[in-house]
């Protein structure tokens, strides 16, 4: 027993360490996918693709191993894992990133609207870059998955404790992964992970659990990894540079790069931009001139800041998505220092670098009286502040990629929901208004309708003004507003606009060569005929009794989504409309070669559709091949219920997990923080549930059917209480929100954590050789669930994903899971 206990402790330690390093690896992959594709949660798909494939391979080739053979293979697999990461760092990462990144950046630096061909080339490069790196990481996860499969198979009776150590290691990996993104170069982290793998393989040998050859190879590999780690720490030899780069750094929010835009002929100076995630976002830089602070004049040309001055100089203003302070510098100059300006920027690295670059003089500007640059998440600030503002300015936000791939949920999108607008209306002074630059104005008007309804205002047609560039109006402003790049600028006032205010807005807009598109009190005003056409549509939306019905009807006619957005469906830039695929008109235009919004937008989703389809077909093929080859070993009545059990667990849990991750983006203010904090909390609570499952199920207090009912019940309750808690505590400090997030998900994770280990334990008693197949099938359905959730979220909402998971858990009650002896 003592011998077995020692060997079991090695298994515990192995799972703890390997789970720890692969979760760090998964966070790196999530950061890459967020930077290049804006879909960080696809990292879950790539991870489970590798892990589940390993389960099937283990089922095929590793049958009855002795303990020494098991430990030898674990040691060898750890070395292979480390070598794969070394190769990735030294060759694959450098070549794939460098070959794709500069063409992407050039598109951004051109400062022009890309053509359809530019967009398609852009996304082809992005997907190639993201999937090549994702698939390589899947290979790394495959190697680690072999370790998991072998250990769970050999020690199946200890499944609950193994699962606990597995999840504890994953929890630590989540926490440390986010920390590392903020303190070291991202290219250093894979080497650090490889070094840990080599050292642990060496420790197994030193304990007498491996071969002498394994000991020597582990030591050599550890020295190599250590040398590379030191080399990359003291130099930037492995830094992947982009064209016109001044410097570049990563943090948990994004990759931030300062690039030279070119010389400005008017000022004779070099212009700069902060570029986020290699072009996914832009923060323009306006240098502050201490000797000439009021050099910029309003209405010489359009800028986001001019929206705050269209009806006069405000006493105070709030700038959301302030970036490097561009709008703040302009507003300070426009008002000649008379306006009190508060700017809110999420990414601390942008503000830090803007302050520290002496050439910009922004440190001095941010320290001036009446200027307040605050690093905070916008919604959190809105919920916490009790100050009233004359103007709330929504500056440029979002990502060019979102315009075409709107199924992402950037943090900035939560500023445009009906819940956010309701809060903004509450912090406006009685005569205050909101200025919004980007985003589809029809969706925003639908959301504002919902927000004003809470104030008792049903018809908001007198509260709205829209202006747009003259050339856009002349080309057809109505069609522009129905497209993915809406050039109309929106003003929404807490109280109705007066006729005098409308005339002043029109006068100031014309100075920038902007025309009035829609406003109340337009009798006697000179309006362009195209504005009159657009005004009819706007008036229909703003005066509608049922705005959702009106926008749904418009969506069905235009084959694109214009419905209002909420915190549960915050997809501002999403035009993906599922009924379009069922429309004859859509496919008629497709085969006729007609380029329209629905087709251009949906085409880019076909990349992801293809990815999901390939995963489904691959899983079906491998499962079918496995069952065909091993058909003599698989007993239908005995084994198929358990295969369904693990399949259902995989897809149901993934829907629940992705639902949590999405819902807490808003709460924690960052997709990567949501990924690491929530995943850590989920994994830790799963581990506690796993640890308690032996006692609760062993005493016959619970069985799998009862646990399935409890899972469905608590998920149903979470559908109600999680949004309620998030809404009412959003204004609290980050530390308190992290603590509350753990408390919220702890009971759910605890109950869900009982299912998997008890299933492993029971199957191990029936047919131990079935375990790797069950593991692999569980993983493949997790891959499919994580990928499908991206498309289901815009349809059912984030919280709706957890309801689908609850329904799947209910189906487990109908499966004969408690008959291990029958067959």
In this structure, the dihedral spanned by the alpha carbons of residues 61, 62, 68 and 72, taken in order and rounded to 10 degrees, is 60
Q: Which residues contact 762 (CB under 8 A, 6 or more apart)?
A: 642, 704, 817, 820
3-state secondary structure of 457: coil
pLDDT bin (cut points 50, 70, 90) of residue 401 is: low
Q: Which residues contact 714 (CB under 8 A, 6 or more apart)?
A: 747, 748, 751
pLDDT bin (cut points 50, 70, 90) of residue 821 is: very low
User: Residue 552: pLDDT above 70?
Assistant: yes
Cβ–Cβ under 8 Å, residues 253 and 347: yes
Mean pLDDT of 251-279: 74
Mean pLDDT of 324-353: 94
Q: What would the two tokens of residue 353 be?
A: 């670098």
- Decide which of 528 and 47 is more confident: 528
In this structure, the dihedral spanned by the alpha carbons of residues 605, 608, 612 and 618, taken in order and rounded to 10 degrees, is 130
375 φ, ψ to 5°? -90, 110
pLDDT confidence of residue 209: 56
Q: Which residue has the tokens 């080497």?
A: 191
* List of E strands, 72-130: none
Cβ–Cβ under 8 Å, residues 330 and 295: no
3-state secondary structure of 635: coil
User: Residue 469: pLDDT above 90?
Assistant: yes
User: Residue 598: pLDDT above 60?
Assistant: no
Q: How far apart (Å, rounded) are the C-alpha atoms in residues 312 and 404?
A: 36
User: Residue 124: pLDDT above 60?
Assistant: yes
Q: What's the whole-number average pLDDT of the chain?
A: 81
Give CA separation, 565 vs 156, 320, 348, in Å: 47, 19, 28
pLDDT confidence of residue 442: 94
pLDDT confidence of residue 476: 92
CA 577, 581, 582, 588 torsion-angle sign? positive
| Residue environment code for 648-676, b if the CB has 16+ CB neighbours within 10 A, otherwise e | bbbbbbbbbbbbbbbbbbbbbbbbbbbbb
User: Residue 318: pLDDT above 90?
Assistant: yes
pLDDT confidence of residue 116: 58
pLDDT bin (cut points 50, 70, 90) of residue 232 is: low
User: Residue 90: pLDDT above 80?
Assistant: no
pLDDT confidence of residue 280: 59
- Residue ranges of the domains in the chain? 2-235+600-814, 277-558
pLDDT bin (cut points 50, 70, 90) of residue 238 is: very low
Distance of CA 535 to the CA centre of its chain: 36
262 φ, ψ to 5°? 135, 175
The conformation of residue 91, written as its DSSP 8-state character, comes to I
Q: What confidence tens digit (pLDDT) does each residue in 270-313 have?
A: 888 877 765 556 778 889 999 999 999 999 999 999 999 999 99
Mean pLDDT of 205-225: 76
pTM for the complete prediction? Answer: 0.82
User: Residue 779: pLDDT above 80?
Assistant: no
Q: What confidence tens digit (pLDDT) does each residue in 736-764 have?
A: 998 999 899 999 999 998 888 888 888 87
Q: What would the two tokens of residue 143 be?
A: 């190697």
- Per mean pLDDT, which range of 84-88, 440-444, 645-649 is the poorest? 84-88
3-state helix/strand/coil string of 671-723:
HHHHHHHHHHHHHHHHHHHHHHHHHHHHCCCCCHHHHHHHHHHHHHHHHHHHH
818 φ, ψ to 5°? -100, 30
User: Residue 542: pLDDT above 60?
Assistant: yes
pLDDT bin (cut points 50, 70, 90) of residue 822 is: very low
**Range of 53-57, 427-431, 593-597, 667-671 with top mean pLDDT:** 427-431
Nearest to 305 by CA among 278, 279, 329: 329
User: Residue 24: pLDDT above 50?
Assistant: yes
Neighbouring C-beta atoms of residue 768, cutoff 10 Å: 15
pLDDT confidence of residue 609: 64
Percent of the chain with pLDDT over 70: 78
Q: Of 1.20.1250.20, 1.10.287.130, 1.20.1560.10, 3.40.50.10470, which CATH number belongs to 2-235+600-814?
A: 1.20.1250.20
Percent of the chain with pLDDT over 90: 32
- Decide which of 682 and 175 is more confident: 682
Mean pLDDT of 589-617: 60
pLDDT bin (cut points 50, 70, 90) of residue 610 is: low
Q: What confidence tens digit (pLDDT) does each residue in 338-349 have?
A: 999 999 998 888
Mean pLDDT of 35-62: 72
Fold (topology level) of 277-558: Rossmann fold (3.40.50)
Ramachandran class of 789: left when φ > 0, alpha when ψ lies in -120 to 50, beta otherwise? alpha
pLDDT confidence of residue 465: 98
């Amino acid at each position: 027993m003592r011998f077995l206990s020692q060997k079991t402790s090695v298994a515990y330690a192995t799972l703890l360490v390997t789970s720890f390093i692969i979760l760090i690896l998964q966070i790196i992959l999530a950061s890459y996918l967020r930077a290049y594709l804006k879909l960080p949660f696809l990292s879950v798909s790539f991870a489970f693709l590798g892990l589940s494939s390993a389960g099937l391979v283990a089922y095929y080739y590793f049958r009855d191993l002795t303990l020494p053979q098991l430990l030898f293979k674990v040691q060898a697999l750890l070395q292979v894992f480390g070598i794969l990461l070394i190769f990735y760092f030294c060759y694959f990462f450098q070549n794939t990133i460098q070959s794709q990144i500069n063409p992407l950046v050039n598109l951004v630096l051109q400062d022009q609207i890309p053509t359809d061909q530019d967009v398609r080339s852009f996304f082809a490069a992005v997907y190639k870059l993201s999937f090549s790196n994702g698939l390589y990481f899947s290979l790394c996860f495959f190697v680690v998955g072999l370790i998991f499969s072998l250990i769970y198979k050999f020690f199946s009776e200890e499944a609950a404790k193994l699962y606990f150590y597995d999840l504890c290691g994953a929890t630590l990996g989540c926490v440390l992964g986010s920390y590392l993104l903020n303190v070291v170069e991202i290219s250093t982290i894979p080497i650090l992970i490889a070094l840990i793998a080599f050292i642990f393989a060496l420790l197994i040998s030193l304990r007498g659990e491996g071969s002498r050859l394994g000991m020597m190879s582990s030591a050599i590999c550890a020295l190599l990894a250590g040398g590379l780690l030191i080399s990359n720490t003291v130099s930037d030899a492995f830094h992947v540079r982009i064209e016109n780069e001044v410097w570049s750094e990563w943090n948990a929010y994004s990759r931030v790069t300062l690039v030279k835009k070119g010389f400005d002929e008017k000022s004779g100076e070099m212009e700069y931009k902060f570029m986020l995630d290699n072009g996914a976002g832009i923060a323009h830089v306006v240098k502050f001139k201490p000797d000439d602070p009021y050099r910029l004049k309003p209405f010489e040309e359009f800028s986001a800041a001019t929206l705050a001055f269209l009806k006069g100089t405000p006493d105070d203003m709030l700038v959301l998505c302030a970036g490097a302070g561009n709008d703040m510098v302009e507003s300070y100059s426009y008002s000649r220092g008379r306006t009190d300006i508060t700017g809110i920027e999420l990414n601390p690295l942008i503000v830090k670098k803007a302050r520290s670059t002496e050439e910009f003089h922004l440190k001095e500007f941010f320290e001036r009286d009446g200027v307040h640059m605050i690093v905070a998440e916008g919604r959190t600030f809105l919920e916490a502040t009790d100050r009233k503002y004359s103007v709330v300015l929504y500056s440029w936000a979002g990502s060019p990629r979102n315009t075409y791939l709107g199924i992402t949920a950037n943090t900035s999108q939560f500023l445009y929901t009906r819940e956010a607008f309701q809060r903004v209306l509450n912090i406006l002074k009685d005569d205050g208004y909101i200025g919004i630059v980007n985003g589809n104005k029809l969706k925003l008007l639908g959301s504002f309708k919902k927000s004003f309804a809470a104030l008792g205002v049903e018809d908001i047609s007198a509260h709205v003004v829209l202006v747009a560039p003259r050339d856009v109006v002349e080309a057809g402003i109505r069609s522009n507003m129905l497209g993915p790049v809406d050039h109309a600028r929106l003003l929404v006032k807490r109280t109705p606009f007066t006729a005098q205010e409308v005339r002043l807005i029109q006068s100031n807009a014309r100075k920038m060569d902007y025309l009035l598109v829609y406003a109340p009190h337009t009798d006697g005003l000179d309006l362009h005929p195209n504005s009159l056409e657009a005004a009819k549509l706007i008036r229909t939306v703003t005066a509608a009794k049922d705005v959702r019905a009106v926008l749904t009807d418009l969506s069905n006619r235009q084959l694109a989504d214009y419905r209002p957005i909420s915190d549960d469906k915050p997809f501002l830039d999403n035009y993906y409309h599922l009924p379009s695929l069922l429309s004859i008109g859509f496919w008629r235009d497709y085969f006729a070669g007609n380029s329209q919004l629905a087709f251009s937008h949906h085409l880019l989703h076909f990349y992801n559709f293809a990815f999901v389809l390939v995963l489904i077909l691959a899983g079906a093929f491998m499962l079918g091949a496995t069952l065909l080859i091993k058909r003599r070993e698989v007993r239908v009545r005995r084994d198929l219920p358990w295969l369904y059990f693990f399949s259902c667990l995989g897809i149901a849990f993934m829907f629940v997990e992705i639902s949590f991750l999405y819902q807490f983006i808003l709460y924690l203010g960052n997709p990567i923080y949501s990924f690491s904090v929530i995943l850590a909390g989920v994994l830790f609570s799963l581990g506690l549930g796993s640890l308690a499952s032996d006692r609760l199920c062993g005493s016959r207090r619970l069985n799998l059917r009862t646990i399935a009912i409890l899972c469905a019940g608590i998920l149903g309750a979470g559908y109600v209480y999680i949004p309620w808690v998030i809404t009412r505590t959003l204004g609290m400090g980050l530390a308190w929100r992290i603590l509350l997030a753990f408390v919220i998900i702890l009971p759910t994770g605890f109950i869900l954590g009982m299912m998997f280990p008890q299933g492993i334990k029971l199957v191990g008693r029936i047919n131990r050789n079935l375990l790797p197949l069950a593991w692999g099938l569980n993983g493949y359905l997790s891959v499919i669930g994580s990928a499908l959730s991206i498309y289901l979220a815009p349809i059912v909402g984030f919280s709706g994903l957890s309801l689908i998971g609850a329904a799947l858990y209910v189906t487990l009650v109908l499966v004969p899971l408690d008959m291990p002896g029958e067959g």
